A and B are shown apart, each in its own frame.
Chain A
């Protein structure tokens, strides 16, 4: 309990630092506030145009797709706020930037993520929430207490799944010693697989994305369940999120043993 209180205290202090840093460079923030929503509005416009040409995508009409897309973007936004560092882990490994975290009496992984909040990630939430609200309206989503709970569980689970995958991918750099970040490809792949119904892809790919790399549980399965009136998918998402994150943390711990700092 004492420990949890300490960790929360440290996190909150770093939220303050993140806000102070942001205020130090207001132009950067304004830049993000403009460019991040543009990215997702463009992404959503693309879906709209494609649906306009093809009618439906694998049986999903425009409203359903907006619902799915909303969940995908909101969980993306949260994963950007808390776990975006995972994309740049290679940079930290090669640059020896884990040194400072290892010198402090807190979990290294905790510090890596929770001492550098990416406040600008909130700008991703704006288009996400808009599209989701629009989708909910189109599919007549009923905001019962059960459904609200389900959405909260699902967003938490989806964020954890994304974060876990970023950590696992980043951890490989402890062995490869590569600076390369695959942010671009990762985002493109996640976009394709979370913003469209998974059922449109070949069987093999569906199996992989359901059981091996649980991307299907970020948005597709829970959204499908919610649209057919059950919150089961959301609960499973949360469970898978917790499991993925735990495995990722263990894997990171193993990777850290091969950390070589920088120089000699």
Chain B
């Protein structure tokens, strides 16, 4: 089997696997909708008496909420758990010897998982959000186009960050609580819950220097039309730089780890 067909097989398997647990599918929709509604109500409540704060109206915030909920599905990664399990069970050296590169397998598994999650969770959430919270339309055509470009890079930044983080499995014994904390902190720092432009200037400055805002905040800002084509370009360039930095450091770290594992035999 060539690598290409192996990847497409892994991808399809993951889609079927995600569908196998019926309860999980429906419970996920319900829980995510509840969290989304709580956020939407939150914005409605604190916006009472204000038309616009920091250049965003309540309608922008509702759009922001719905799109952020759908986006969070594209950022589900399992690579951290997979590598942790592999290290824990002591099979990692053998897994690395397989003809198909280990992290490529993890990537296509995540991609398959996300594809099915998008259809079985993302679309229902988008539908429910549009019906009960407000139709989350992009500001205009250019905004929409910029959003998709940025989203694609966000997806890879998020995945490479997760993969880089997963390498900690080699140095720490109990990863699973760390993974939870990473998720929580990432959501707080990336503007997925509250946009960072509500923060004071100095905090925005700090967060702007970190890669997290380029996962959620930038695509969302583009979507609700906070940038024009001209002002968006520098931002997208920084996003691209982060993508290069993270993927580059991942490849370097992965290479040295692989070498170490092969020498020690796991």
Contact = CB atoms under 8 A, between A and B. Distances in A.
B263 interface: no
Interface stretch (A32-40, A105-113, A238-246): A32-40
A184 B183 contact: yes
A187 B189 CA distance: 16
B119 interface: no
A170 B77 CA distance: 23
A31 to B, nearest CB: 6
A205 B41 contact: yes
A42 interface: yes
Interface class of chain A by DSSP = helix
Interface residues of B, number: 38
A205 B186 CA distance: 28
Interface stretch (B102-110, B146-154, B194-202, B227-235): B194-202
A196 B200 contact: no
A180 B24 contact: yes
Contacts of A45: 199, 203
A39 B39 CA distance: 18
Contacts of A211: none
B12 to A, nearest CB: 22
Interface string A166-188: 00000000001110101111111
A42 B196 CA distance: 12
A180 B37 CA distance: 21
Interface residues of A, number: 40
Contacts of B173: 25, 28
Given A28-B174, A205-B41, A188 B193 contact: yes
Contacts of A177: 23
> Looking at A186, A192, A202, which has the most chain B CB atoms within 10 Å of its CB?
A192
A31 B165 CA distance: 14
B32 A180 contact: no
Contacts of B264: none
Nearest to B23: A176
B198 A200 contact: no
Contacts of B94: none
Interface of A: 25, 27-28, 31-32, 35-36, 38-39, 42-43, 45-46, 49-50, 52-54, 57-58, 120, 176-178, 180, 182-189, 192-193, 196, 200-202, 205
Given A28-B172, A184-B180, A185-B34, 14 more contacts: A32-B181, A36-B181, A39-B185, A42-B188, A45-B199, A49-B203, A182-B31, A184-B184, A188-B35, A189-B35, A192-B42, A200-B42, A200-B45, A201-B41
Which are the 9 A-B pairs with shortest beta-carbon distances? A200-B45, A176-B23, A185-B31, A192-B38, A35-B181, A180-B24, A49-B199, A42-B188, A178-B23
5 contacts: A31-B172, A32-B181, A57-B45, A176-B23, A178-B23
